[in-house]
């Protein structure tokens, strides 16, 4: 029987061999020489010049000067965590990959999430694509599944990648703007490269501003192959489905978070793991028989196209759990090197022209970023499988390779290390042939059909958000001709969208309306019907001295029992005392715990508590901002009247002391009668689980047609 923790333990033990604790130890140089003083350089007298012989000064400054390595060109800002993957049932019918066979085996993983455009110092919550890269430390070697939180990509061929990145990065003459597509060069490239139309719709949707890494889908994007032991191949695409559902921020909230907590997504993942709320994703695969490669009205190798789940279902085959934060960000997250060329037997590549370029690019970029060809020997990148080959020397070589033979074939070491013709990796024997050409397959030319499918699949709320995003991004463009060309290009998708974009950016509506021939929709593309849970949701409890002890305690206990994370927010940090003498700790203030970092807000009753809150503009603003962002708001007892004094458009706060008032679908839950608090708790928790209450937007931030 396989040791269920064998793989995970093996990687932890491997990393532990490189881990150093400096607690209780004396300070030394890098050569192990104990240091007597690290605050004063060696001088010729107290006011004399520093001496060159001060080896400690020279080493300390030298190492500091060289601490930084080049940041990634794209995906520079990232955050990672350790965990494990378990398959649900043997996948031998489809692939011989070892880590997909034994449901008892825990395969260690390291997962890195990232933004694409911004620098390492940019904010987490900008509108951007998110990277979703997973390194599986399998017994057969490292397997890297390197993808994004969107199933399609901007371009079809890797040769366009430098152009796309140059266009979306800050403009070269002034290095402005940071971490955004809201500028001329990107949209100039976009209107001249219509294959971007589909991906840009995804970017303008709520997917571009996820609520957290934990509530974000992942996709392998490119088409790969599964190969089983009999040599049979199938095309495959990979999906990561978050168990908490797919949820997003609203734009105003994302903008404010960039200033109030630019590390919001990092902090969220770190805190969730530290508190034992381990994030989980199910791995899903879409499979297409080789005989069906040309069966569809799109080319399955076109990375700007997705495989609709209603046509090609997603089979959920296993689960990934992230359960351990890194010990050192630089040593692990920053030095982690991913490459889609890192595969194991049972997985192979397709002829996707974007993937073919990625196979070269990722490896090439590590050479300069991590200082040479031995980056695979950095602890975070080391496979748990043994490594034996004739690679030698180079920068930062960490192994001490024994023997005198460094070549194959040899007699001095009996030809070792030997290839393994039976168990070694063999590429799928795909027949290939053709005339050398710089062309793309004809079906790659449909740039608008799936963009229309995506638009058709969106809810009314999601469509409004897409229009608002276009109006901000394209509205930031200075060149009027580019703005007009964006409108004209999206008229190929749907005149409805094009006209709404035009109305907000000062462009003319389409001269001729276009009715897309694509009328189908795909419910899987909308976040409307995703999984919804109160687990790990953060709830701000606004309270001052004089709060109602019983109400606050009952609501906090109910939230905690449901898996939510309530925190008391007050005007000052420290102990606050209830009307009945109960003491609670306020861990956040209106400044350090703003409404944008919480999923919901609750205000307990208590005459003094409510009087104190009503007299503070920050408290009133807190409620109004949470309401604007469509979050659940709850109040009990005297706090209901306080809510009535806030500007909650479209809401009539209940005055009936004997009923809970859920106020339509607006997510404002109130009760005055204390005996109904248990009912309130159930209604409030149910409302928080809904994530947002979009019905409010018609009252607070409508997008004109």
* Residues labelled catalytic: 75, 148
**How far, CA to CA in Å, does 323 sit from each of 4, 80, 147?**
16, 11, 21
What are the CA-CA distances from residue 15 to residues 18, 145, 551, 576 (Å)? 5, 21, 48, 45
Report yes or no: 85 and 109 within 8 Å, Cβ to Cβ.
Answer: yes
In residues, how long is the chain?
705
* Cα–Cα separations (whole angstroms), residue 14 to 9, 134, 392, 606: 8, 18, 21, 56
At a CB cut-off of 8 Å and minimum separation 6, what does 162 contact? none
In degrees and rounded to multiples of 5, residue 366 shows phi and psi of -65, -30
For residue 177, cis peptide bond before it (omega within 30 degrees of 0): yes
Question: Half-sphere exposure of residue 296, counting CA atoms within 13 Å on the CB side?
Answer: 21
Q: What ranges in 419-494 are assigned the alpha helix state H?
A: 449-457, 460-473, 480-490
Q: Which two tokens stand for residue 136?
A: 């599986």
Task: Judge whether 551 and 543 are in contact, CB under 8 Å.
Answer: no
The residues with which 138 forms a beta bridge, in sequence order, are 141
Q: Measured between alpha carbons, how far is 54 from 58 in angstroms, rounded to an integer?
A: 6
Among 213, 474, 223, 226, which residue's Cα sits nearest to residue 340? 223
Among all chains, which residue has been given the structure tokens 């630019």?
Answer: 262
Query: In which order are the strands placed within the sheet that holds 538-542?
Result: 588-589, 565-570, 538-542, 600-603, 632-636, 668-671
Strand partners, 192: none
**Cβ-Cβ contacts under 8 Å for 628 (sequence gap 6 or more):** 252, 696, 700, 701
For 142: left if phi > 0, alpha if psi spans -120 to 50, otherwise beta; the answer is beta
**Collapsed DSSP state (helix, strand, coil) of residue 110:** strand
Encoding tokens for residue 304?
A: 């700007």
Backbone angle region of 206, left / alpha / beta, with phi > 0 → left and psi within -120 to 50 → alpha: alpha
Cα 188 from chain centroid (whole Å): 27
Contact 527, 246 (CB under 8 A): yes
**Tokens 């930084």 label which residue?**
68
Q: Which residue has the tokens 């140059």?
A: 166
């Amino acid at each position: 029987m396989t040791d269920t923790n064998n793989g995970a333990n093996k990687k932890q033990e491997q990393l532990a061999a490189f881990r150093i604790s400096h607690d209780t130890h004396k300070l030394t140089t890098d050569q192990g020489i104990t240091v007597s003083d690290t605050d004063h350089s060696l001088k010729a007298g107290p006011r004399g010049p520093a001496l060159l012989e001060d080896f400690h000064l020279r080493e300390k400054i030298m190492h500091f000067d060289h601490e930084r390595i080049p940041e990634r060109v794209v995906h520079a800002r990232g955050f990672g965590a350790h965990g494990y993957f378990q398959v649900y049932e043997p996948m031998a019918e489809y692939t011989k990959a070892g880590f997909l066979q034994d449901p008892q085996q825990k395969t260690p993983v390291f997962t890195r999430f990232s933004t694409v455009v911004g620098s390492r110092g940019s904010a987490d919550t900008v509108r951007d694509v998110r990277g979703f890269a997973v390194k599986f430390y399998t017994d057969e070697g490292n397997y890297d599944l390197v993808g994004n939180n969107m199933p399609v990509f901007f371009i079809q061929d890797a040769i366009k990648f430098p152009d796309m990145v140059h266009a979306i990065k800050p403009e070269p003459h002034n290095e402005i703007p940071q971490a955004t597509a809201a500028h001329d060069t990107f949209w100039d490239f976009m209107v001249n490269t219509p294959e971007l139309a589909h991906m840009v719709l995804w970017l303008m949707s709520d997917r571009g501003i996820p609520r957290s890494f934990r509530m974000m889908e992942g996709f392998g994007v490119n088409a790969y192959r599964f190969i089983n032991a009999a040599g049979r191949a199938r095309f495959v695409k990979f999906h990561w489905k978050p168990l908490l559902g797919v949820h997003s921020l609203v734009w105003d909230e994302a903008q404010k978070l960039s200033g109030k907590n630019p590390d919001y997504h990092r902090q969220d993942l770190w805190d969730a793991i530290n508190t034992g709320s381990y994030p989980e994703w199910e791995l899903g695969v879409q499979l297409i028989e080789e005989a069906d490669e040309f069966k569809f009205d799109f080319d399955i190798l076109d990375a700007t196209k997705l495989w609709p789940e209603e046509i090609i279902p997603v089979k959920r085959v296993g689960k990934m759990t992230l359960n351990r934060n890194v010990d050192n960000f630089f040593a692990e997250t920053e030095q982690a090197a991913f490459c889609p060329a890192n595969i194991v037997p049972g997985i192979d590549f397709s002829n996707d022209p974007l993937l073919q370029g990625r196979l070269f690019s990722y490896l090439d970029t590590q050479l300069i970023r991590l200082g040479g060809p031995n980056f695979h020997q950095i602890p975070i990148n080391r496979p748990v499988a043994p490594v034996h080959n004739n690679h030698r020397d180079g920068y930062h070589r960490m192994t001490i390779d024994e023997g005198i033979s460094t070549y194959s074939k040899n007699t001095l070491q009996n030809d070792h290390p030997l290839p393994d013709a039976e168990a070694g990796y063999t590429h799928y024997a795909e027949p290939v042939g053709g005339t050398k050409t710089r062309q793309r397959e004809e079906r790659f030319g449909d740039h608008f059909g799936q963009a229309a499918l995506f638009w058709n699949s969106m809810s009314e709320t999601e469509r409004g958000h897409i229009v608002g995003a276009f109006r901000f991004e394209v509205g930031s463009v200075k060149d009027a001709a580019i703005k007009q060309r964006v409108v004209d290009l999206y008229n190929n998708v749907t005149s409805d969208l094009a006209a709404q974009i035009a109305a907000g950016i000062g462009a003319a509506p389409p001269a001729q309306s276009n009715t897309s021939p694509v009328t189908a929709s795909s419910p899987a593309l909308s976040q409307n019907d995703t999984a919804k849970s109160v687990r790990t949701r953060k709830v701000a409890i606004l309270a001052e001295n004089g709060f109602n002890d019983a109400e606050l305690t009952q609501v906090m206990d109910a939230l905690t029992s449901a898996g939510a994370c309530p925190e008391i927010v007050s005007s000052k940090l420290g102990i606050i005392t209830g009307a009945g003498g109960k003491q609670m700790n306020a861990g956040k203030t209106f400044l350090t715990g703003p409404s944008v970092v919480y999923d919901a807000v609750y205000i307990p009753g208590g005459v003094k508590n409510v009087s104190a809150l009503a007299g503070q503009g920050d408290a009133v603003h807190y409620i109004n901002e949470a309401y604007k962002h469509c979050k659940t708001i709850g109040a009990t007892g005297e706090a209901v009247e306080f809510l009535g004094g806030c500007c909650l458009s479209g809401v009539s706060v209940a005055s009936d002391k004997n009923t809970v008032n859920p106020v339509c679908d607006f997510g404002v839950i109130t009760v005055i009668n204390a005996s109904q608090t248990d009912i309130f708790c159930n209604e409030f928790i149910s409302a928080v689980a809904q994530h947002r209450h979009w019905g409010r937007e018609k009252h607070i931030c409508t997008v004109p047609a």
